[in-house]
């Protein structure tokens, strides 16, 4: 009985019995909201813009339509911002029986060329390495019938916009295109106008939604007390800690201070080379570094499990950046904690964050006496939220 019910949950979306059975074999029995919304549209061959956070099941939201719609001699192209995400996508595609080749930096070009010659159904690539293959003419995109941009906002933040344009300009005009992103900034909207045709927009997790598993607090204190508070918070935390600074200079200064204090700390910001950023991130993932100090732009590529604490040493420039920052913890069902160190004159910035998330952020007793905060009423906060998100 349970098997019939499980299979019909995906079957009701138009997924073929064989793929339902493959999903069931991996204990995937219930479509996520993004899958429920995107799969039927993808199966119809429509262009799709899907707004959803990382970890919401996006891979099957586009992977299952690819599995159904690809014909002999056709290819699907999936672009992802990081090697790690590309590897995760390939693993998910393997679960439903799709053959694929992984085209990412740091791997052997020769092996990738040999894999491409086998003409796999799907190419999963990071933009930079795919450009390398295009320049060497070791790959052709003329048979691509379905193209996917996954985590598009992260790709643009990481500077891949020129590479994406170069790649898409070599794709056939007659194709299906699906774009997935956590947020919808202006740059993504412009990208979709150029490369998608009458796309169907889906937003299953409203922008500004933060995980309920993340406990949040704000500490108001004077500027000259922030470093001591940072030291105290890190000293009381056993697990991995991610610290956000507003500027590259600030990130560099904090990383140096923590290293001098005896902490295993690394830094990621625009002044670091790609090799240095890769080493810092891999070291943070492996536990070689317990603390990672990052700026917002460089941190878009951070996808690390089991981060215990996120510290906003500087209040972010936008409320959306706050949601992205604290989303690095409280992942995969684990609880997390986010602490923001704010100055008394940044009350309005914190209120803007509260309005976006439609929730209060408790003021911690760890800092100075809290400033008088004139927060908007619940009615005003709801009124500030776009109607489509209610």
The answer on pLDDT for 163 being more than 60 is yes
Cα–Cα distance, 78 to 93 (Å, whole number): 11
pLDDT over 70 for what percent of the chain? Answer: 86
CATH code assigned to 31-203: 3.40.50.300
pLDDT at 390 over 60: no
pLDDT reading at 260 higher than 70 = yes
Given a cut of 80, whether residue 165 has pLDDT beyond it is yes
Neighbours of 135 (CB within 10 A): 10
Closest listed residue to residue 243, CA positions, set 273, 223, 222, 263: 263
* Res 180: pLDDT: 94
pLDDT in tens, 355-377: 888 889 999 887 666 565 555 55
pTM: 0.66
Is 154's pLDDT higher than 90? no
Contact 340, 347 (CB under 8 A): no
Average pLDDT for 8-37: 91
At 251 the three-state DSSP class reads: helix
Least confident interval from 67-81, 241-255, 355-369, 371-385: 371-385
Tokens of 137: 């003419």
Residue 276 — pLDDT band, cuts 50, 70, 90? Answer: confident
Please state, in angstroms and rounded to a whole number, the distance separating the CA atoms of residues 74 and 66.
10
Q: What is the DSSP string of 13-24?
A: TT--HHHHHHHH
pLDDT at 373 (0 to 100): 57
Q: How many CA atoms lie within 13 A of 207 on its CB side?
A: 18
Contact between 319 and 208 under an 8 Å Cβ cutoff? The reply is yes
The per-residue pLDDT of the chain, averaged, comes to 87
- Per-residue pLDDT tens over the stretch 85-135: 888 899 899 999 999 999 998 788 999 999 999 889 999 999 999 999 999
pLDDT band at 262 (very low <50, low <70, confident <90, very high): very high
Residue with tokens 């898409």: 168
CATH number of 214-383: 3.40.50.300
pLDDT at position 278? 77
Question: pLDDT digit string (tens) for 279-293?
Answer: 998 899 899 999 999
Which strands make up the sheet holding 214-220, listed edge to edge? 214-220, 336-342, 307-312, 240-244, 291-294, 265-268
236: pLDDT strictly greater than 80: yes
Question: Distance between CA atoms of 314 and 340, rounded to whole angstroms?
Answer: 7
Length of the chain equals: 390
Query: Does the pLDDT at position 184 exceed 90?
Result: no
Q: What are phi and psi of 101, to 5 degrees?
A: -120, 140
Contact 324, 182 (CB under 8 A): yes
Residue with tokens 């684990």: 334
Range list for CATH 3.40.50.300 in the chain: 31-203, 214-383
């Amino acid at each position: 009985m349970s098997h019939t019910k499980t299979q019909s949950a995906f079957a009701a979306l138009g997924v073929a019995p064989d793929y339902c059975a493959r999903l069931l074999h991996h204990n995937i029995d219930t479509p996520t909201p993004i899958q429920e919304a995107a799969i039927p549209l993808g199966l119809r061959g429509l262009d799709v813009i899907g707004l959803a956070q990382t970890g919401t099941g996006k891979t099957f939201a586009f992977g299952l339509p690819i599995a159904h719609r690809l014909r002999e001699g056709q290819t699907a192209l999936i672009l992802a911002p990081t090697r790690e995400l590309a590897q995760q996508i390939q693993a998910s595609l393997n679960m439903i029986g799709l053959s694929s080749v992984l085209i990412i930096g740091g791997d052997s070009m020769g092996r990738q060329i040999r894999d491409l010659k086998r003409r796999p159904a799907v190419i999963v690539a990071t933009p930079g390495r795919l450009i390398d293959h295009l320049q060497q003419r070791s790959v052709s995109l003329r048979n691509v019938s379905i193209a996917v941009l996954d985590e598009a906002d992260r790709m643009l933040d990481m500077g891949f916009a020129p590479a994406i344009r170069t790649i898409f300009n070599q794709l056939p005009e007659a194709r299906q295109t699906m774009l997935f992103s956590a947020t919808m900034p202006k740059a993504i909207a412009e990208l979709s106008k150029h490369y998608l045709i009458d796309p169907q927009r889906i937003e299953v997790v409203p922008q500004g939604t933060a995980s309920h598993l993340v406990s949040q607090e704000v500490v108001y204190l004077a500027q000259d007390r922030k470093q001591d508070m940072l030291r105290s918070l890190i000293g009381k935390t056993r697990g991995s800690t991610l610290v956000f600074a507003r500027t590259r200079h600030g990130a560099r200064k904090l990383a140096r201070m923590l290293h001098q204090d005896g902490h295993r700390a690394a830094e990621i910001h625009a002044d670091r080379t790609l090799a240095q950023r890769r080493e810092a991130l891999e070291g943070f993932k492996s536990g070689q570094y317990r603390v990672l100090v990052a700026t917002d732009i460089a941190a878009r590529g951070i996808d690390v499990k089991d981060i215990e604490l996120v510290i906003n040493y500087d209040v972010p420039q936008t409320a959306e950046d706050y949601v992205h920052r604290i989303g690095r913890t409280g992942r995969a069902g684990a609880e997390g904690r986010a602490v923001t160190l704010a100055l008394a004159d940044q009350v309005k910035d914190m209120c803007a964050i509260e309005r976006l998330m439609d929730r209060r952020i408790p003021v911690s007793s760890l800092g100075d006496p809290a400033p008088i905060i004139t927060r908007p009423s619940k009615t005003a906060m709801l009124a500030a939220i776009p109607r489509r998100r209610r």
